[in-house]
Amino acid sequence: MFTRTKHQKGSLTREKRQRQADVWVYRWREVDQDRSVKRRKVIVGTVEQYRTQSLAKNALAALKLDVNQHPSEGAHPALITVGQLVEHYKKNELGEKRKSKAQSTVDVYHYYLRSWIAPRWNQTRVIDVKPIEVENWLGTLDVADGTKAKIRNVMSTLFQHGLRHQFIERNPIKGLVRQSAKRQKDPDILTAEEIAAILKRLPLLAKTMVFLAAGTGLRFSEIRGLQWQDVDFDLGVLNLRRGVVNKHTTELKTKASRKPVPLHPSLVEALRTYREQSAFNQPSDWVFASVKRKGKVPVWPSCIMSDYIQPAAREAKITKHIHWHGFRHAYGTLMKANGEDVKVVQDSLRHASPQITLDVYVQAIPSAVRSAHGRVVEQITAELSSFGPTLDPSSAVAAVSD
């Protein structure tokens, strides 16, 4: 924190540049707590922008640069760069002392800041960030519109942080930068017959994971976070308590995501069969434990997908793009196709946002959720039966390791 011992006006001078137009530079001094002098400066603009010193002084006044009264942490809003704001945001909002944000969210923010925002904007003063320039820049990025919208939203969050700490005086992103998040194409949705065809060709661990994903709509982080103590075999219910994203165990963020998940008898039997053959079957063990890591961590999702599920899909001549979240999409789509009430679908998928469904105050009764869940599982098992017995314990293939 800098302190100033006397009133000063600073000085505005013209400086030469070798390869570009001369610039107007405003300078002043600040005295640190150890009495050392800090010399500060800010470029007001070029002589092409402001042909006379008088015009440059008017522009300087527009910056509201008060070197005698502005309380800041060593930098005036006219000097703050996007890079400086990024570092302060990471330290206070993404560091170990953060008050909220799951580790998975922190990782996503770090990715967007590091990969997209920093390379383009780090050296830019915040006051020089213009909405139209951000829009034009987003338009040059070779990524999906949804990704562009996320980049814009992270930038807006960054500037809101600056406003909250009084480092800057405006958010040049919020409400000003337009960017559609509309999908460029609809995601591939698996049918019940296609899910059954994939299940038929999988070894036990991968088969149980896919059956659980397609039959409950669980997020894959929730599947990885399951421990045997979370499975109530008698009541046919999953009690979700945690998720695992990459190497991080996280709490489930919303009340909706922590709702118990009903299990159809076919899923109960599939889990029971898998537990009987698993080397890691104690209450505190991961349901889908990594054999290679001696059960200390859950299996790695990309390995199961690339080594088993995608080859099984190719063998079944399924050309759709297969990914873990696709099974959740399939679950919701099959429910909708079965004519389920939109509120039942929302409760089944445990969405918290009222924008996804009709009326947030309309409640689906638990029996309706279980019944809807049962119909999806029965669709899959009906298709599966056409391939012959697959969930019989005697025909189970040994559990795979990741």
Tell me which residue range forms the domain holding 136.
82-164
Residues 399 and 271 sit within 8 Å (Cβ to Cβ): no
**78 or 224, which is more confident:** 224
CATH number at residue 328: 1.10.443.10
Asked whether residue 141 falls in the same domain as residue 281, the answer is no
Percent of the chain residues topping a pLDDT of 90: 44
**In-domain check, residue 43:** yes
User: How far from 306 is each of 154, 278, 377, CA to CA, in Å?
Assistant: 31, 22, 24
Asked whether residue 258 falls in the same domain as residue 218, the answer is yes
**In-domain check, residue 186:** no
**Cα separation of the two ends of the chain:** 52
How many Cα atoms occupy the beta-carbon half-sphere of 229 within 13 Å? 6
Asked whether residue 253 falls in the same domain as residue 211, the answer is yes
H-type helices in 165-203, by residue range? 192-200
**In-domain check, residue 185:** no
H-type helices in 129-226, by residue range? 131-140, 145-164, 192-200, 204-216, 220-224
**In-domain check, residue 6:** no
Determine how β-strand 37-46 pairs with β-strand 11-15: unpaired
Instruction: Read off the pLDDT of residues 322-331 as tens digits, 9 standing for 90 and up.
Output: 999 899 888 8
Q: What is the mean pLDDT of residues 297-314?
A: 95
Q: What is the mean pLDDT of residues 39-45?
A: 76
Name the nearest CA neighbour of 106 among 250, 230, 307, 210.
Answer: 250
Q: What is the pLDDT of residue 348?
A: 86
Asked whether residue 391 falls in the same domain as residue 262, the answer is yes
**In-domain check, residue 401:** no
Percent of the chain residues topping a pLDDT of 70: 82
CA distance 147 to 323: 18
Name the nearest CA neighbour of 222 among 267, 252, 179.
Answer: 252
Instruction: Read off the pLDDT of residues 235-273 as tens digits, 9 standing for 90 and up.
Output: 999 999 999 988 888 888 777 788 899 999 999 999 999
Residues 357 and 343 sit within 8 Å (Cβ to Cβ): yes
**In-domain check, residue 1:** no
Asked whether residue 200 falls in the same domain as residue 146, the answer is no
Which segments of 173-233 are extended strands (E)?
231-232
Residues 24 and 12 sit within 8 Å (Cβ to Cβ): yes
**In-domain check, residue 177:** no
Instruction: Read off the pLDDT of residues 357-395 as tens digits, 9 standing for 90 and up.
Output: 333 323 455 776 788 899 899 999 888 887 765 555 444
Q: How many domains does the chain have?
A: 3
Asked whether residue 366 falls in the same domain as residue 247, the answer is yes
Which three-class secondary structure state does DSSP give residue 237?
strand
- pLDDT of 112 over the 90 cut: yes
Does the pTM of the predicted model rise above 0.75? no
How many Cα atoms occupy the beta-carbon half-sphere of 274 within 13 Å? 27
Q: Which two tokens stand for residue 242?
A: 């945690």
The conformation of residue 99, written as its DSSP 8-state character, comes to S
Residues 81 and 145 sit within 8 Å (Cβ to Cβ): no
- pLDDT of 161 over the 60 cut: yes
CA distance 117 to 98: 21
**In-domain check, residue 153:** yes
Asked whether residue 124 falls in the same domain as residue 196, the answer is no
Instruction: Name the strands in the sheet holding 237-238, side by side, starting at the edge strand that comes first in the sequence.
Output: 231-232, 237-238, 261-262
Q: How confident is the model at residue 66 (pLDDT cuts 50, 70, 90)?
A: low
